Chains A and B, each alone.
Chain A
Amino acid sequence: MQAYLTLTRRELSSYFMSLTGYIIISAALFLLGFSFVDLLKQLQREPTPMPVTELFYMTWFFWLILLVTTPVITMRLFALEKFSGTFETLMTAPVTDLEVVLSKFTASMMFYLIMWLPLLGCVLLVRHFTSDPGAIDAGVIGATFLGIALLGSLFISLGCCASALTRSQVTAAVISLVFGASLFLLAYLADQVQHQPDWQSQALACFNFFDYMHNFARGVVDTRAVVLMGSLTLFFLFLTLRIVESRRWK
Protein backbone atom coordinates (compact mmCIF):
# COMPACT_ATOMS: atom_id res chain seq x y z
CA MET A 1 0.00 0.00 0.00
CA GLN A 2 2.80 2.38 0.91
CA ALA A 3 4.56 1.61 -2.36
CA TYR A 4 1.33 2.20 -4.28
CA LEU A 5 0.75 5.59 -2.69
CA THR A 6 4.39 6.62 -3.08
CA LEU A 7 4.39 5.65 -6.75
CA THR A 8 1.06 7.33 -7.45
CA ARG A 9 2.32 10.51 -5.88
CA ARG A 10 5.48 10.46 -7.92
CA GLU A 11 3.67 9.70 -11.15
CA LEU A 12 1.18 12.48 -10.62
CA SER A 13 3.79 15.02 -9.63
CA SER A 14 5.94 14.11 -12.63
CA TYR A 15 3.20 15.54 -14.88
CA PHE A 16 3.64 18.88 -13.19
CA MET A 17 7.42 18.74 -12.83
CA SER A 18 7.91 18.67 -16.57
CA LEU A 19 6.28 20.77 -19.26
CA THR A 20 4.15 17.88 -20.55
CA GLY A 21 1.42 18.28 -17.97
CA TYR A 22 1.02 21.98 -18.60
CA ILE A 23 1.01 21.52 -22.37
CA ILE A 24 -1.69 18.87 -22.18
CA ILE A 25 -3.81 21.00 -19.87
CA SER A 26 -3.45 24.09 -22.04
CA ALA A 27 -4.30 22.14 -25.18
CA ALA A 28 -7.39 20.68 -23.50
CA LEU A 29 -8.30 24.11 -22.18
CA PHE A 30 -7.96 25.59 -25.65
CA LEU A 31 -10.32 23.02 -27.14
CA LEU A 32 -12.66 23.39 -24.21
CA GLY A 33 -12.70 27.14 -24.77
CA PHE A 34 -13.65 26.57 -28.38
CA SER A 35 -16.50 24.33 -27.43
CA PHE A 36 -17.60 26.85 -24.84
CA VAL A 37 -17.78 29.61 -27.44
CA ASP A 38 -19.77 27.25 -29.63
CA LEU A 39 -22.06 26.49 -26.76
CA LEU A 40 -22.66 30.14 -25.98
CA LYS A 41 -23.54 30.83 -29.60
CA GLN A 42 -26.13 28.07 -29.48
CA LEU A 43 -27.58 29.45 -26.28
CA GLN A 44 -27.95 32.88 -27.86
CA ARG A 45 -29.90 31.58 -30.84
CA GLU A 46 -32.92 29.97 -29.29
CA PRO A 47 -34.10 28.69 -25.92
CA THR A 48 -33.49 24.99 -25.43
CA PRO A 49 -34.70 22.45 -22.90
CA MET A 50 -31.38 20.60 -22.97
CA PRO A 51 -28.97 20.90 -20.01
CA VAL A 52 -25.77 22.79 -20.68
CA THR A 53 -23.69 19.63 -20.33
CA GLU A 54 -25.68 17.98 -23.09
CA LEU A 55 -25.18 21.03 -25.26
CA PHE A 56 -21.46 20.79 -24.55
CA TYR A 57 -21.44 17.14 -25.47
CA MET A 58 -23.24 17.92 -28.72
CA THR A 59 -20.32 20.09 -29.85
CA TRP A 60 -18.18 16.96 -30.38
CA PHE A 61 -15.21 18.68 -28.85
CA PHE A 62 -15.53 16.14 -26.05
CA TRP A 63 -14.43 13.35 -28.35
CA LEU A 64 -11.60 15.36 -29.82
CA ILE A 65 -10.23 16.13 -26.36
CA LEU A 66 -10.63 12.53 -25.25
CA LEU A 67 -9.00 11.04 -28.32
CA VAL A 68 -6.07 13.44 -28.47
CA THR A 69 -5.14 13.89 -24.83
CA THR A 70 -5.35 10.33 -23.48
CA PRO A 71 -2.53 8.97 -25.67
CA VAL A 72 -0.36 11.92 -24.66
CA ILE A 73 -1.17 11.46 -20.98
CA THR A 74 -0.38 7.77 -21.02
CA MET A 75 2.47 7.49 -23.52
CA ARG A 76 5.28 8.06 -21.01
CA LEU A 77 3.98 5.80 -18.24
CA PHE A 78 6.01 2.69 -19.07
CA ALA A 79 7.76 3.63 -22.31
CA LEU A 80 9.86 6.39 -20.76
CA GLU A 81 10.85 4.22 -17.79
CA LYS A 82 11.93 1.46 -20.12
CA PHE A 83 13.77 3.88 -22.37
CA SER A 84 15.68 5.61 -19.59
CA GLY A 85 16.36 2.41 -17.67
CA THR A 86 14.55 3.52 -14.53
CA PHE A 87 12.22 0.58 -15.08
CA GLU A 88 15.05 -1.57 -13.78
CA THR A 89 15.49 0.40 -10.56
CA LEU A 90 11.73 0.49 -10.15
CA MET A 91 11.16 -3.23 -10.59
CA THR A 92 14.11 -4.24 -8.42
CA ALA A 93 12.60 -2.30 -5.51
CA PRO A 94 10.29 -4.40 -3.36
CA VAL A 95 7.11 -3.49 -5.26
CA THR A 96 4.64 -5.79 -6.96
CA ASP A 97 3.75 -5.52 -10.63
CA LEU A 98 0.15 -4.86 -9.66
CA GLU A 99 1.14 -1.89 -7.53
CA VAL A 100 3.15 -0.43 -10.39
CA VAL A 101 0.34 -0.82 -12.94
CA LEU A 102 -2.36 0.45 -10.61
CA SER A 103 -0.36 3.44 -9.45
CA LYS A 104 0.39 4.49 -13.00
CA PHE A 105 -3.26 4.12 -13.94
CA THR A 106 -4.44 6.02 -10.87
CA ALA A 107 -2.02 8.88 -11.42
CA SER A 108 -2.91 9.33 -15.08
CA MET A 109 -6.60 9.08 -14.22
CA MET A 110 -6.18 11.80 -11.61
CA PHE A 111 -4.35 13.98 -14.06
CA TYR A 112 -7.07 13.37 -16.64
CA LEU A 113 -9.75 14.46 -14.19
CA ILE A 114 -7.75 17.55 -13.22
CA MET A 115 -7.58 18.36 -16.91
CA TRP A 116 -11.38 18.28 -17.11
CA LEU A 117 -11.92 20.59 -14.14
CA PRO A 118 -12.13 23.75 -16.32
CA LEU A 119 -15.33 22.31 -17.77
CA LEU A 120 -16.86 22.74 -14.35
CA GLY A 121 -15.77 26.39 -14.51
CA CYS A 122 -17.47 26.81 -17.88
CA VAL A 123 -20.69 25.31 -16.58
CA LEU A 124 -20.65 27.48 -13.48
CA LEU A 125 -20.04 30.52 -15.67
CA VAL A 126 -23.16 29.73 -17.68
CA ARG A 127 -25.07 29.24 -14.48
CA HIS A 128 -23.89 32.61 -13.20
CA PHE A 129 -25.20 34.42 -16.26
CA THR A 130 -28.47 32.57 -16.72
CA SER A 131 -31.39 33.86 -14.77
CA ASP A 132 -32.68 30.36 -14.07
CA PRO A 133 -30.63 28.65 -11.34
CA GLY A 134 -32.40 25.38 -12.12
CA ALA A 135 -30.81 25.32 -15.55
CA ILE A 136 -27.85 23.47 -14.14
CA ASP A 137 -28.48 20.58 -11.87
CA ALA A 138 -25.80 19.02 -9.65
CA GLY A 139 -27.01 15.56 -10.62
CA VAL A 140 -26.58 16.25 -14.31
CA ILE A 141 -23.10 17.62 -13.78
CA GLY A 142 -22.27 14.62 -11.62
CA ALA A 143 -23.50 12.21 -14.29
CA THR A 144 -21.53 14.04 -16.97
CA PHE A 145 -18.35 13.81 -14.95
CA LEU A 146 -19.05 10.15 -14.25
CA GLY A 147 -19.31 9.60 -18.00
CA ILE A 148 -16.12 11.56 -18.60
CA ALA A 149 -14.34 9.52 -15.93
CA LEU A 150 -15.60 6.18 -17.24
CA LEU A 151 -14.72 6.83 -20.86
CA GLY A 152 -11.46 8.31 -19.67
CA SER A 153 -10.61 5.21 -17.64
CA LEU A 154 -11.25 3.06 -20.70
CA PHE A 155 -9.00 5.15 -22.93
CA ILE A 156 -6.34 5.55 -20.26
CA SER A 157 -6.18 1.83 -19.50
CA LEU A 158 -5.81 1.34 -23.24
CA GLY A 159 -2.97 3.87 -23.22
CA CYS A 160 -1.27 2.11 -20.27
CA CYS A 161 -1.38 -1.10 -22.24
CA ALA A 162 0.13 0.56 -25.33
CA SER A 163 2.85 2.19 -23.26
CA ALA A 164 3.78 -1.10 -21.60
CA LEU A 165 4.29 -2.64 -25.02
CA THR A 166 7.13 -0.45 -26.20
CA ARG A 167 10.20 1.55 -25.25
CA SER A 168 9.28 4.48 -27.46
CA GLN A 169 6.86 7.12 -26.29
CA VAL A 170 5.93 8.02 -29.85
CA THR A 171 5.09 4.42 -30.69
CA ALA A 172 3.04 4.17 -27.51
CA ALA A 173 1.11 7.32 -28.40
CA VAL A 174 0.47 6.11 -31.94
CA ILE A 175 -0.72 2.68 -30.77
CA SER A 176 -3.14 4.14 -28.26
CA LEU A 177 -4.32 6.76 -30.74
CA VAL A 178 -5.02 4.08 -33.34
CA PHE A 179 -6.87 1.88 -30.87
CA GLY A 180 -8.71 4.86 -29.44
CA ALA A 181 -9.78 5.97 -32.89
CA SER A 182 -10.88 2.40 -33.61
CA LEU A 183 -13.10 2.45 -30.55
CA PHE A 184 -14.47 5.75 -31.74
CA LEU A 185 -15.21 4.36 -35.21
CA LEU A 186 -16.73 1.26 -33.62
CA ALA A 187 -19.04 3.55 -31.69
CA TYR A 188 -19.85 5.40 -34.89
CA LEU A 189 -20.67 2.15 -36.65
CA ALA A 190 -22.79 1.04 -33.70
CA ASP A 191 -24.60 4.33 -33.83
CA GLN A 192 -25.40 3.82 -37.50
CA VAL A 193 -26.78 0.31 -37.17
CA GLN A 194 -28.47 0.48 -33.79
CA HIS A 195 -31.97 0.58 -35.21
CA GLN A 196 -31.59 -2.45 -37.44
CA PRO A 197 -33.25 -5.53 -36.02
CA ASP A 198 -30.69 -8.27 -36.88
CA TRP A 199 -28.62 -9.66 -34.01
CA GLN A 200 -25.26 -8.58 -35.43
CA SER A 201 -26.36 -4.98 -35.39
CA GLN A 202 -27.82 -5.35 -31.95
CA ALA A 203 -24.58 -6.83 -30.66
CA LEU A 204 -22.59 -4.06 -32.25
CA ALA A 205 -24.96 -1.49 -30.78
CA CYS A 206 -23.63 -2.40 -27.33
CA PHE A 207 -20.57 -0.41 -28.23
CA ASN A 208 -22.49 2.76 -28.92
CA PHE A 209 -20.34 4.97 -26.72
CA PHE A 210 -21.95 8.04 -28.32
CA ASP A 211 -25.29 7.04 -26.95
CA TYR A 212 -23.88 6.19 -23.54
CA MET A 213 -22.05 9.47 -23.22
CA HIS A 214 -25.08 11.35 -24.49
CA ASN A 215 -27.12 9.77 -21.73
CA PHE A 216 -24.57 10.71 -19.12
CA ALA A 217 -24.57 14.28 -20.41
CA ARG A 218 -28.34 14.31 -20.08
CA GLY A 219 -28.02 13.17 -16.50
CA VAL A 220 -29.00 9.57 -17.12
CA VAL A 221 -26.71 7.00 -15.54
CA ASP A 222 -27.06 3.83 -17.54
CA THR A 223 -25.75 0.79 -15.66
CA ARG A 224 -25.03 -1.04 -18.92
CA ALA A 225 -22.56 1.68 -19.82
CA VAL A 226 -21.01 1.65 -16.37
CA VAL A 227 -20.55 -2.12 -16.49
CA LEU A 228 -19.25 -2.17 -20.06
CA MET A 229 -16.69 0.59 -19.61
CA GLY A 230 -15.71 -0.62 -16.15
CA SER A 231 -15.07 -4.13 -17.36
CA LEU A 232 -13.21 -2.97 -20.48
CA THR A 233 -10.98 -0.86 -18.23
CA LEU A 234 -10.30 -3.87 -16.02
CA PHE A 235 -9.58 -5.95 -19.08
CA PHE A 236 -6.99 -3.51 -20.40
CA LEU A 237 -5.43 -3.13 -16.96
CA PHE A 238 -5.20 -6.90 -16.70
CA LEU A 239 -3.56 -6.99 -20.10
CA THR A 240 -1.10 -4.31 -18.98
CA LEU A 241 -0.29 -6.34 -15.89
CA ARG A 242 0.39 -9.41 -18.00
CA ILE A 243 2.66 -7.40 -20.30
CA VAL A 244 4.62 -6.06 -17.34
CA GLU A 245 4.87 -9.57 -15.91
CA SER A 246 5.88 -11.05 -19.25
CA ARG A 247 9.54 -10.12 -18.73
CA ARG A 248 9.57 -12.67 -15.92
CA TRP A 249 8.30 -15.46 -18.22
CA LYS A 250 10.59 -17.34 -20.59
Chain B
Amino acid sequence: MSDGLMIEVANLTKRYAGRTAVSDISFTVARGEIVGLLGPNGAGKSTTMRILSCFLPATSGTARVAGFDIFNQSDEVRRRIGYMPENNPLYPDMRVREYLKFRARLKGLSRTRTRERVDVVMEQFGLTEVQKRIVGQLSKGFRQRVGLADSLVHEPELIILDEPTIGLDPNQIRSVRQLIKSLAQTHTVLISTHILPEAEMTCNRMVIMYEGKILAADTPDNLQRLMSGNSQVIAEICAPREVLEACWSEMAEVEQYDVAPAQGEYCRCALTPLDGVDLRPRIFAIAKERGWPLRELTRSRHTLEDIYVQVTRPDEEEA
Protein backbone atom coordinates (compact mmCIF):
# COMPACT_ATOMS: atom_id res chain seq x y z
CA MET B 1 0.00 0.00 0.00
CA SER B 2 1.24 3.45 -0.84
CA ASP B 3 1.56 5.48 2.29
CA GLY B 4 0.54 9.08 2.38
CA LEU B 5 -0.98 9.11 -1.08
CA MET B 6 -4.74 9.29 -1.36
CA ILE B 7 -5.06 9.44 -5.11
CA GLU B 8 -2.55 8.18 -7.64
CA VAL B 9 -3.51 8.71 -11.24
CA ALA B 10 -1.19 7.35 -13.89
CA ASN B 11 -1.56 7.92 -17.62
CA LEU B 12 -5.32 8.04 -17.42
CA THR B 13 -7.14 8.38 -20.72
CA LYS B 14 -10.85 8.45 -21.42
CA ARG B 15 -12.15 8.45 -24.94
CA TYR B 16 -15.77 8.75 -25.84
CA ALA B 17 -16.84 7.86 -29.34
CA GLY B 18 -14.68 10.10 -31.49
CA ARG B 19 -13.64 12.46 -28.71
CA THR B 20 -10.91 12.32 -26.13
CA ALA B 21 -12.19 13.76 -22.87
CA VAL B 22 -9.13 13.04 -20.77
CA SER B 23 -5.81 12.45 -22.40
CA ASP B 24 -2.97 10.71 -20.59
CA ILE B 25 -3.07 12.59 -17.30
CA SER B 26 -1.07 11.74 -14.19
CA PHE B 27 -1.20 13.34 -10.79
CA THR B 28 -1.17 12.45 -7.13
CA VAL B 29 -2.96 13.79 -4.11
CA ALA B 30 -1.55 13.30 -0.64
CA ARG B 31 -3.67 12.58 2.40
CA GLY B 32 -5.13 15.68 4.00
CA GLU B 33 -4.70 17.90 0.96
CA ILE B 34 -7.40 20.02 -0.62
CA VAL B 35 -6.79 19.90 -4.31
CA GLY B 36 -8.67 21.91 -6.89
CA LEU B 37 -9.21 20.66 -10.41
CA LEU B 38 -9.41 23.81 -12.41
CA GLY B 39 -10.31 24.41 -15.99
CA PRO B 40 -12.87 25.79 -18.39
CA ASN B 41 -16.00 23.83 -19.18
CA GLY B 42 -15.24 20.72 -21.15
CA ALA B 43 -11.67 20.44 -19.89
CA GLY B 44 -12.25 16.92 -18.58
CA LYS B 45 -12.67 17.71 -14.89
CA SER B 46 -15.99 15.96 -14.46
CA THR B 47 -14.84 12.97 -16.47
CA THR B 48 -11.77 12.62 -14.27
CA MET B 49 -13.94 12.76 -11.18
CA ARG B 50 -16.41 10.26 -12.55
CA ILE B 51 -13.58 7.86 -13.27
CA LEU B 52 -12.12 8.32 -9.79
CA SER B 53 -15.52 7.71 -8.23
CA CYS B 54 -15.83 4.45 -10.22
CA PHE B 55 -18.83 5.61 -12.23
CA LEU B 56 -17.09 5.47 -15.58
CA PRO B 57 -14.28 3.17 -16.69
CA ALA B 58 -11.08 4.65 -18.05
CA THR B 59 -10.10 3.76 -21.59
CA SER B 60 -6.52 3.25 -20.50
CA GLY B 61 -4.27 4.05 -17.60
CA THR B 62 -4.70 3.30 -13.94
CA ALA B 63 -5.79 5.10 -10.85
CA ARG B 64 -5.69 4.13 -7.22
CA VAL B 65 -7.64 5.63 -4.38
CA ALA B 66 -6.34 4.94 -0.87
CA GLY B 67 -4.24 2.20 -2.41
CA PHE B 68 -7.14 0.41 -4.09
CA ASP B 69 -7.46 0.07 -7.83
CA ILE B 70 -10.55 1.94 -9.01
CA PHE B 71 -11.50 -0.70 -11.55
CA ASN B 72 -10.73 -4.00 -9.85
CA GLN B 73 -11.46 -2.95 -6.28
CA SER B 74 -14.21 -0.49 -6.99
CA ASP B 75 -16.24 -1.63 -4.01
CA GLU B 76 -13.42 -0.81 -1.59
CA VAL B 77 -12.87 2.52 -3.31
CA ARG B 78 -16.55 3.47 -3.22
CA ARG B 79 -16.66 2.67 0.49
CA ARG B 80 -13.94 5.26 1.04
CA ILE B 81 -15.15 8.16 -1.04
CA GLY B 82 -17.93 10.68 -0.71
CA TYR B 83 -18.81 11.91 -4.15
CA MET B 84 -21.08 14.78 -5.02
CA PRO B 85 -21.72 14.92 -8.77
CA GLU B 86 -22.22 18.08 -10.77
CA ASN B 87 -25.64 19.67 -10.22
CA ASN B 88 -26.01 17.63 -7.06
CA PRO B 89 -28.79 15.20 -7.97
CA LEU B 90 -31.11 14.25 -5.09
CA TYR B 91 -34.41 12.42 -4.77
CA PRO B 92 -36.85 15.34 -4.69
CA ASP B 93 -39.68 13.37 -3.11
CA MET B 94 -37.82 12.46 0.07
CA ARG B 95 -37.48 14.40 3.28
CA VAL B 96 -34.05 15.65 4.32
CA ARG B 97 -33.59 13.35 7.27
CA GLU B 98 -35.09 10.42 5.43
CA TYR B 99 -32.76 10.96 2.49
CA LEU B 100 -29.65 11.15 4.63
CA LYS B 101 -30.73 8.06 6.53
CA PHE B 102 -31.32 6.22 3.28
CA ARG B 103 -27.89 7.20 1.96
CA ALA B 104 -26.16 6.25 5.20
CA ARG B 105 -27.82 2.83 5.24
CA LEU B 106 -26.97 2.37 1.59
CA LYS B 107 -23.34 3.07 2.38
CA GLY B 108 -23.40 0.28 4.93
CA LEU B 109 -23.69 2.11 8.25
CA SER B 110 -25.42 0.28 11.06
CA ARG B 111 -28.74 1.53 12.40
CA THR B 112 -27.31 3.22 15.50
CA ARG B 113 -24.33 4.62 13.61
CA THR B 114 -26.72 5.96 10.96
CA ARG B 115 -28.73 7.82 13.58
CA GLU B 116 -25.58 9.30 15.10
CA ARG B 117 -23.98 10.31 11.84
CA VAL B 118 -27.16 11.78 10.36
CA ASP B 119 -27.55 13.94 13.46
CA VAL B 120 -23.92 15.00 13.26
CA VAL B 121 -23.92 15.99 9.60
CA MET B 122 -27.27 17.75 9.88
CA GLU B 123 -25.85 19.77 12.72
CA GLN B 124 -22.62 20.39 10.82
CA PHE B 125 -24.40 21.69 7.73
CA GLY B 126 -27.20 23.54 9.48
CA LEU B 127 -29.92 21.21 8.27
CA THR B 128 -31.46 20.37 11.61
CA GLU B 129 -34.28 22.88 11.26
CA VAL B 130 -35.23 21.65 7.77
CA GLN B 131 -34.90 17.94 8.49
CA LYS B 132 -38.62 17.30 7.98
CA ARG B 133 -38.87 19.31 4.78
CA ILE B 134 -39.16 17.70 1.36
CA VAL B 135 -35.89 17.95 -0.55
CA GLY B 136 -37.58 19.12 -3.76
CA GLN B 137 -39.02 22.15 -1.99
CA LEU B 138 -35.75 23.36 -0.47
CA SER B 139 -33.79 26.30 -1.80
CA LYS B 140 -30.74 25.57 -3.89
CA GLY B 141 -28.38 26.43 -1.06
CA PHE B 142 -30.03 23.98 1.28
CA ARG B 143 -30.08 21.29 -1.37
CA GLN B 144 -26.38 21.80 -1.89
CA ARG B 145 -25.88 21.33 1.82
CA VAL B 146 -27.92 18.15 1.71
CA GLY B 147 -25.62 16.90 -1.05
CA LEU B 148 -22.53 17.80 0.95
CA ALA B 149 -23.99 16.18 4.06
CA ASP B 150 -24.65 13.04 2.02
CA SER B 151 -21.10 12.89 0.75
CA LEU B 152 -19.82 13.09 4.32
CA VAL B 153 -22.32 10.94 6.15
CA HIS B 154 -20.23 7.76 6.08
CA GLU B 155 -17.03 9.55 7.10
CA PRO B 156 -15.18 8.94 3.86
CA GLU B 157 -11.43 9.31 3.61
CA LEU B 158 -11.71 11.17 0.33
CA ILE B 159 -14.35 13.66 -0.70
CA ILE B 160 -14.84 14.39 -4.37
CA LEU B 161 -16.98 17.44 -5.10
CA ASP B 162 -17.83 18.37 -8.67
CA GLU B 163 -18.51 22.10 -8.89
CA PRO B 164 -19.96 22.38 -5.41
CA THR B 165 -20.78 26.09 -5.62
CA ILE B 166 -22.34 26.25 -9.07
CA GLY B 167 -25.59 28.17 -9.20
CA LEU B 168 -25.44 29.52 -5.67
CA ASP B 169 -25.72 33.15 -4.62
CA PRO B 170 -22.62 34.86 -3.17
CA ASN B 171 -23.62 34.30 0.44
CA GLN B 172 -24.29 30.65 -0.13
CA ILE B 173 -21.03 30.30 -2.02
CA ARG B 174 -19.21 31.77 0.94
CA SER B 175 -20.84 29.39 3.37
CA VAL B 176 -20.19 26.37 1.16
CA ARG B 177 -16.54 27.38 0.84
CA GLN B 178 -16.34 27.72 4.58
CA LEU B 179 -17.78 24.25 4.95
CA ILE B 180 -15.25 22.82 2.52
CA LYS B 181 -12.43 24.53 4.35
CA SER B 182 -13.67 23.11 7.62
CA LEU B 183 -13.25 19.62 6.17
CA ALA B 184 -9.59 20.27 5.54
CA GLN B 185 -8.17 19.02 8.81
CA THR B 186 -9.78 15.63 8.74
CA HIS B 187 -10.34 14.76 5.09
CA THR B 188 -8.73 14.75 1.72
CA VAL B 189 -10.78 16.83 -0.69
CA LEU B 190 -10.75 16.98 -4.47
CA ILE B 191 -12.96 19.74 -5.83
CA SER B 192 -13.48 20.91 -9.35
CA THR B 193 -14.34 24.42 -10.33
CA HIS B 194 -13.93 26.88 -13.12
CA ILE B 195 -14.04 29.79 -10.72
CA LEU B 196 -10.56 30.86 -9.79
CA PRO B 197 -10.96 32.72 -6.52
CA GLU B 198 -12.69 29.63 -5.25
CA ALA B 199 -9.68 27.45 -5.85
CA GLU B 200 -7.37 30.19 -4.65
CA MET B 201 -9.23 30.45 -1.38
CA THR B 202 -9.90 26.84 -0.61
CA CYS B 203 -7.17 24.71 -2.12
CA ASN B 204 -3.64 23.82 -1.04
CA ARG B 205 -2.84 22.78 -4.55
CA MET B 206 -4.32 23.34 -7.95
CA VAL B 207 -4.32 21.15 -11.02
CA ILE B 208 -5.13 23.16 -14.10
CA MET B 209 -6.72 21.18 -16.90
CA TYR B 210 -7.40 22.16 -20.43
CA GLU B 211 -8.74 20.00 -23.25
CA GLY B 212 -8.14 16.82 -21.34
CA LYS B 213 -4.55 17.59 -20.39
CA ILE B 214 -2.93 18.87 -17.24
CA LEU B 215 -1.23 22.18 -17.94
CA ALA B 216 0.05 23.02 -14.50
CA ALA B 217 -0.11 21.53 -11.04
CA ASP B 218 1.24 23.40 -8.07
CA THR B 219 0.30 25.40 -4.99
CA PRO B 220 -1.47 28.70 -5.67
CA ASP B 221 1.62 30.53 -4.34
CA ASN B 222 4.04 28.69 -6.58
CA LEU B 223 1.86 29.22 -9.59
CA GLN B 224 1.94 32.88 -8.77
CA ARG B 225 5.68 32.96 -8.31
CA LEU B 226 5.98 31.22 -11.63
CA MET B 227 4.24 34.12 -13.23
CA SER B 228 5.38 37.09 -11.20
CA GLY B 229 9.13 36.75 -11.79
CA ASN B 230 9.24 39.98 -13.73
CA SER B 231 6.13 41.74 -12.66
CA GLN B 232 6.03 45.49 -12.75
CA VAL B 233 6.68 47.72 -9.77
CA ILE B 234 4.61 50.88 -9.47
CA ALA B 235 6.01 53.84 -7.58
CA GLU B 236 4.46 57.28 -7.16
CA ILE B 237 7.15 59.78 -6.34
CA CYS B 238 7.08 63.57 -6.03
CA ALA B 239 10.03 64.62 -8.26
CA PRO B 240 10.56 66.19 -11.69
CA ARG B 241 9.89 63.81 -14.53
CA GLU B 242 13.29 64.20 -16.23
CA VAL B 243 15.17 63.52 -13.02
CA LEU B 244 13.20 60.36 -12.47
CA GLU B 245 13.74 59.14 -16.04
CA ALA B 246 17.44 59.77 -15.75
CA CYS B 247 17.56 57.92 -12.47
CA TRP B 248 15.81 54.82 -13.83
CA SER B 249 17.89 54.68 -16.97
CA GLU B 250 21.01 54.55 -14.80
CA MET B 251 19.75 51.58 -12.80
CA ALA B 252 20.98 48.32 -14.29
CA GLU B 253 18.21 46.23 -12.75
CA VAL B 254 15.49 48.18 -14.54
CA GLU B 255 14.77 46.64 -17.86
CA GLN B 256 12.05 49.05 -18.88
CA TYR B 257 10.50 52.12 -17.40
CA ASP B 258 7.60 54.39 -18.04
CA VAL B 259 7.06 57.67 -16.19
CA ALA B 260 3.77 59.51 -16.41
CA PRO B 261 2.45 62.52 -14.50
CA ALA B 262 -0.04 61.59 -11.82
CA GLN B 263 -2.36 63.55 -9.56
CA GLY B 264 -0.75 66.55 -7.88
CA GLU B 265 2.99 66.97 -8.37
CA TYR B 266 3.62 63.27 -8.31
CA CYS B 267 4.84 61.08 -11.14
CA ARG B 268 3.74 57.53 -11.62
CA CYS B 269 6.63 55.25 -12.56
CA ALA B 270 6.03 51.77 -13.92
CA LEU B 271 9.24 49.77 -13.75
CA THR B 272 9.92 46.36 -15.17
CA PRO B 273 12.85 44.69 -13.43
CA LEU B 274 15.16 41.99 -14.69
CA ASP B 275 14.15 38.45 -13.86
CA GLY B 276 13.92 37.68 -10.20
CA VAL B 277 14.86 41.12 -8.89
CA ASP B 278 12.70 42.85 -6.35
CA LEU B 279 13.05 46.57 -7.04
CA ARG B 280 11.05 47.85 -4.12
CA PRO B 281 13.80 48.17 -1.49
CA ARG B 282 16.06 49.91 -4.01
CA ILE B 283 13.41 52.43 -4.93
CA PHE B 284 12.69 53.15 -1.30
CA ALA B 285 16.39 53.64 -0.62
CA ILE B 286 16.75 56.05 -3.53
CA ALA B 287 13.69 58.04 -2.50
CA LYS B 288 14.99 58.27 1.03
CA GLU B 289 18.47 59.23 -0.06
CA ARG B 290 17.28 62.02 -2.35
CA GLY B 291 14.49 63.15 -0.07
CA TRP B 292 11.69 62.47 -2.55
CA PRO B 293 8.26 62.05 -1.03
CA LEU B 294 7.03 58.54 -1.89
CA ARG B 295 3.31 57.88 -1.59
CA GLU B 296 2.88 54.50 -3.25
CA LEU B 297 5.10 51.53 -3.85
CA THR B 298 3.53 48.29 -5.04
CA ARG B 299 4.31 45.30 -7.12
CA SER B 300 1.46 44.51 -9.48
CA ARG B 301 0.61 40.99 -8.41
CA HIS B 302 -0.39 38.65 -11.14
CA THR B 303 -3.65 37.24 -9.98
CA LEU B 304 -4.35 33.61 -10.58
CA GLU B 305 -6.79 34.91 -13.11
CA ASP B 306 -3.87 35.87 -15.33
CA ILE B 307 -2.20 32.53 -14.82
CA TYR B 308 -5.41 30.76 -15.60
CA VAL B 309 -6.07 32.74 -18.73
CA GLN B 310 -2.50 32.31 -19.83
CA VAL B 311 -2.27 28.56 -19.32
CA THR B 312 -5.72 27.70 -20.52
CA ARG B 313 -5.35 29.68 -23.74
CA PRO B 314 -1.88 28.69 -24.85
CA ASP B 315 -2.27 29.52 -28.50
CA GLU B 316 -4.15 32.78 -28.21
CA GLU B 317 -1.11 34.86 -29.03
CA GLU B 318 -0.29 32.86 -32.10
CA ALA B 319 -3.80 33.25 -33.42
Contacts and interface: CB of A to CB of B under 8 A. Distances in A.
B93 A14 contact: yes
A131 interface: no
A20 to B, nearest CB: 10
Given A85-B85, A85-B89, A93 B106 contact: yes
Interface string B69-93: 0000001001101011111011111
A88 B50 contact: yes
Contacts of A250: 57, 59
Contacts of A91: 54-55
Contacts of B107: 93-94
A79 to B, nearest CB: 14
Interface residues of A, number: 24
A89 B108 contact: no
B93 A92 contact: no
Contact of B85 (A18, A89, A95, A247): A89
B150 A89 contact: yes
Contacts of B85: 85, 88-89, 92
B105 interface: yes
Nearest to B54: A92
Contacts of A45: none
A7 interface: yes
B9 interface: no
B94 A17 contact: yes
The B interface is mostly helix, strand or loop, or mixed, namely: loop
Given A14-B93, A85-B85, A250-B59, A92 B53 contact: yes
A6 B56 CA distance: 24
Contacts of B54: 91-92
Given A249-B57, A250-B59, A6 B75 contact: no
B53 A7 contact: no
B299 interface: no
Given A91-B55, A92-B78, A86 B90 contact: yes
A96 B75 contact: yes
A178 interface: no
Contacts of B105: 2-3, 6
Contact of B83 (A14, A17, A92, A249): A92
Nearest to B83: A92
B103 interface: yes
A95 B55 contact: no
Interface in B43-60: 50, 53-57, 59
Contacts of A96: 75
A179 to B, nearest CB: 27
A90 to B, nearest CB: 8
B102 to A, nearest CB: 5
Contacts of B106: 3, 6-7, 90, 93, 95
Contact of A92 (B55, B90, B92): B55
B57 A85 contact: no
A248 interface: yes
Nearest to B160: A92
Contacts of B94: 10, 17
A247 B103 contact: no
Nearest to B16: A250
Contacts of A90: 106
Interface in A68-101: 84-86, 88-96
A24 to B, nearest CB: 16
A93 B106 CA distance: 7
B78 A86 contact: no
A94 B75 contact: yes
Contacts of A94: 75, 78-79, 107-108
Contacts of B90: 86, 89
Nearest to B85: A88
B102 A86 contact: no
Contacts of A93: 78, 103, 106-107
10 contacts: A14-B93, A85-B89, A88-B55, A88-B89, A89-B83, A89-B89, A91-B55, A94-B79, A95-B106, A247-B57
Interchain residue pairs A-B with the least CB separation, the first 9: A85-B89, A6-B105, A94-B78, A17-B93, A86-B89, A92-B53, A88-B85, A94-B79, A92-B83
